[in-house]
Amino acid sequence: MVKDMTNTKDIISTKNLNLWYDTKQALIDISMDMQQNKVTALIGPSGCGKSTLIRCFNRMNDVIDKCKITGEVTFHGKNIYSSSADAVGIRKKIGMVFQKPNPFPKSIYENIAYGPKIQGIKDKKKLDYIVEKSLKDAALWNEVSDRLNESAMGLSGGQQQRLCIARSLAIEPEIILMDEPCSALDPIATAKIEDLINVLKKDYTVIIVTHNMQQAARVSDFAAYMYLGKLIEFGKTKQIFEKPTEELTENYITGRFG
Amino acid sequence: MKLPLDITKIQSFYTYLKSGTWITFPNIVFLLITAFSLIMILSGFVSAMNNSYIGDGVLRFLLLATGILFIIQTVKIRFKHHYTIKLLLPTICFIIILFLFAYFLPLFPPKYDLRPYEITASLLKFLVISIFLILTGLLSLSFNIRSFFGFTSKGKQYSAYIVLIFSILLILYPLIIFIGNITVNGIGGINWEFLTEDVRSHGQQGGIVKALIGTICLIIGVTVISLPLGIGAAVYLTEYAKGGIIVRIIRITVDILQGIPSIVFGLFALAVLVPLFGISLINGILVLSFLTLPIIIRASEEAILAVPGSIREGSYALGASKWQTIKRVVLPPALPGIITGGVLGLGRAAGETAPIMFVACVFLGAPHIPNLFAPIQALPYHLLTLIYYLGAYEVEQNAWATAFLLIAIVLLINAGSILIREKYRVEF
């Protein structure tokens, strides 16, 4: 494992993380450290465990039956899987955007305001401010500012995905997890979201799962290559793509399989 | 609103008609058979409705004519396309049936008395003939279309389409007759006196106002008890109790409850509730709640399960707890389905007679202001009593009117549930 030696703090790490779906082991001994305010991409062929891994970071695997985890995931030094940790509280700091956009069947305003309202914010002016800011940060404000009270289901796929991103931003998380956010979108919408990721990393840490190698190369600072549940190589994106140290990584990058 | 027809298609069809090129021998045969088939079906419907009979002679002519036309059509097709006998066999069988039908028609007496065979029903000619007519008409339409289009898939498709349309009409027909009959007979009895006065003189005079109030009280009471309990049970079953033996037991119990005959509920109430409360409104509410609870639980479960898991995940990912997710994101889109199920269950409860007749209802003498621990009058029970009195007293008009009122209420409730469902439905 290559570890970057610059002075930025590691914000989230895993240590000897193993995961079983029933009896099948999906993650084998994953240990990695991700840096703050950087974009880390998880790449690898289908079924290698990237989505499973990213869902561990905000304990979304808790909702799946028969899922067993050993090992640690440390967020700011504290293990989020310890028995005293609060899954709900963690998800307020680590947000997630899913592969298929999943807006709530409510108005655009209510979608964005959902997170803050859950946290207890009731003041209308404050909610208005948060909604506007989140939509602007997600580069969606100009397109929807005149129809905030219309149903979110009427937006196009790309707009819905940006809405979901705005929705995650509204709770001001520290990390944003993105599970193949562009795979259901057309190239233009994809480009808009990739631009957005570049802007987001100034204020947030982004971890993105992608099966699109070119996207990983465009968008990420660090890359982790996974294969069959194991972490094969982790390092700066430039290095992974130009001079991979492992043979498996090289095979994937050069397209021999995957 | 988009028109189902294409203007250009209609125009080209019209020019085709005007040109006269369609007047060929096979086309004429096809049209004649279609006309005769339609006459058969129509006369079948009409004679069933009017207890009338179109007459032996006319029928025999129809059947014979259709049979001969079919022979012409089949022979022509056999020579034109050289179809095998095997392909034409169903049509040939059908032609034989038509002739047999025509031959045996007058041998059927107007009323075939089956009493010597210990059967109280008697076969009435017009009824049997009308059913045969409708079926024969349908079949001949179907064969006609198939033969005309040369036994290709196009012909089969058209014939299936036509038969399906007529099947739907066949299903709607008894429903329309039923509702029409009750409306025609009952609506004359609905007047201000009927709706606002209490029953007098064994139901011959006065009205059903107390029965109406009683039914409304039952509906309200059942709503108050079974809606919250039912929705709560459904939320528990779908969101909290995942799998496991307890859930299976609860589900089986709910299914069994749904299938229990309502008179058994009545017996249970008679044995358990009457010693406690006497004959009173609360018995009726409790028993009917037992009846509607499974329906509401089922409908609510379906509605909640229809909300996709991705929505729930989206809520969890924003830091919501399980209950917050259920309350804010799962239940709101499920609400139209839940309410539809609830309303349908209530509609059923409003019309049930057997569970309440021994434990909550009286025919007259219920208190003016409904009291939970006193008996009530109810519309279904009122109707039941009037039916018992039909021989002894002049209650026929009022019985029809009560029946009409009852189905009007049930239809209104169902219509309401459909409106709610359509207005608030969420598409995922």
Residue A87 has pLDDT above 50, yes or no: yes
Percent of chain B predicted with pLDDT > 70: 96
pLDDT at A2: 46
Residue A175 lies in a domain: yes
Domain chopping of chain B, boundaries: 7-187, 193-424
Contact check, Cβ <8 Å, B314/A164? yes
Residue A169, chain B, CB below 8 Å: the answer is no
Residue A2, chain B, CB below 8 Å: the answer is no
Confidence grade of residue A8 (pLDDT, cut at 50, 70, 90): low
Angle formed by the axes of helices B281-305 and B262-272, nearest 10°: 130
Report the pLDDT averaged over residues B230-245.
86
pLDDT at A132: 94
Q: Which residues of chain B have a CB within 8 Å of the CB of A167?
A: 314, 318
- Mean pLDDT score of chain B, rounded to an integer? 85
Q: Domain holding A15: CATH number?
A: 3.40.50.300
Residue A76 lies in a domain: yes
Residue B21 has pLDDT above 70, yes or no: yes
Quote the number of domains for chain A: 1
Dump pLDDT digits (tens) for A89-134: 899 999 999 999 999 999 999 999 999 999 999 999 999 999 999 9
Dump pLDDT digits (tens) for B103-145: 887 777 777 777 777 777 777 777 778 888 888 888 888 888 8
The DSSP element (H or E) to which A131 belongs, if any, is helix A124-137
Residues 48-87 in A contacting B (C-alpha not used; CB under 8 Å): 58, 60, 63, 65
Residue A254 is classified by DSSP as T
The DSSP element (H or E) to which A17 belongs, if any, is strand A10-21
- CB-CB neighbours of B208 under 10 Å: 29
pLDDT at A244: 87
pLDDT at A6: 45
Contact check, Cβ <8 Å, A105/B332? yes
Residue B316, chain A, CB below 8 Å: the answer is yes
pLDDT at B418: 86
Residue A3 lies in a domain: no
Of A63, A153, A167, the CB nearest to B313: A63
Dump pLDDT digits (tens) for B252-266: 999 898 889 999 999
Determine the Cα–Cα distance for residues B422 and B170; give it in Å rounded to an integer: 27
What ipTM was assigned to the predicted interfaces of this complex? 0.91
Mind telling me how many Å the CA of B331 is from chain A's nearest CA? 11
pLDDT at A97: 94
Residue A3 has pLDDT above 50, yes or no: no
Q: Provide the CATH topology of domain B193-424.
A: MetI-like fold (1.10.3720)
Residue A54 lies in a domain: yes
Mind telling me how many Å the CA of B54 is from chain A's nearest CA? 59
Residue B207 has pLDDT above 60, yes or no: yes
Best mutation target, B240, B307, B318, B424, to test chain A (most A CBs within 10 A) = B318
- Which chain A residue has its CA at the smallest distance from B308's CA? A102
CB A107 within 8 A of CB A149: yes
Contact check, Cβ <8 Å, B427/A153? yes
Determine the Cα–Cα distance for residues A225 and A209; give it in Å rounded to an integer: 10
Determine the Cα–Cα distance for residues B157 and A120; give it in Å rounded to an integer: 61
Confidence grade of residue B403 (pLDDT, cut at 50, 70, 90): very high
Q: Can you give the residue range of the structural domain that contains A155? A: 10-253
Report the pLDDT averaged over residues B370-398.
89
Question: Which of A169, A92, A159 lies closest to B324, judged by CA?
Answer: A92
Of A88, A102, A164, the CB nearest to B319: A88
Mind telling me how many Å the CA of A63 is from chain B's nearest CA? 8
Question: Is the entire prediction scored with pTM above 0.80?
Answer: no
Q: Which residues of chain B have a CB within 8 Å of the CB of A96?
A: 317
Mind telling me how many Å the CA of B326 is from chain A's nearest CA? 12
Residue A120, chain B, CB below 8 Å: the answer is no
Confidence grade of residue B222 (pLDDT, cut at 50, 70, 90): very high
- Mean pLDDT score of chain A, rounded to an integer? 89
The DSSP element (H or E) to which A159 belongs, if any, is helix A157-169
Question: Which of B314, B310, B321 lies closest to A170, judged by CA?
Answer: B314
Show the 3-state SS of chain B.
CCCCCCHHHHHHHHHHHHHCCCCCHHHHHHHHHHHHHHHHHHHHHHHHHHCCCCCHHHHHHHHHHHHHHHHHHHHHHHHHHCCCHHHHHHHHHHHHHHHHHHHHHHHCCCEECCHHHCCCCCEEHHHHHHHHHHHHHHHHHHHHHHHHCCCCHHHHHHHHHHHHHHHHHHHHHHHHHHHHHHHHHHHHHCCHHHHHCCEEHHHCEECCHHHHHHHHHHHHHHHHHHHHHHHHHHHHHHHHCCCHHHHHHHHHHHHHHHHCCHHHHHHHHHHHCHHHHCCCHHHHHHHHHHHHHHHHHHHHHHHHHCCCHHHHHHHHHCCCCHHHHHHHHHHHHHHHHHHHHHHHHHHHHHHCCCCCCCCCECCCCCCCCCCCCCCECCHHHHHHHHHHCCCCCCCHHHHHHHHHHHHHHHHHHHHHHHHHHHHHCCCC
Q: Which residues of chain A have a CB within 8 Å of the CB of B425?
A: none
Dump pLDDT digits (tens) for A202-242: 899 999 999 888 899 899 999 999 999 999 999 999 998 88
Dump pLDDT digits (tens) for B68-90: 888 888 887 777 776 677 777 88
Of A75 and B154, the structure prediction assigns the larger pLDDT to A75
Residue A163 has pLDDT above 70, yes or no: yes
Of the listed ranges A22-36, A44-58, B155-169, the least confidently predicted one is: B155-169
Residue A258 lies in a domain: no
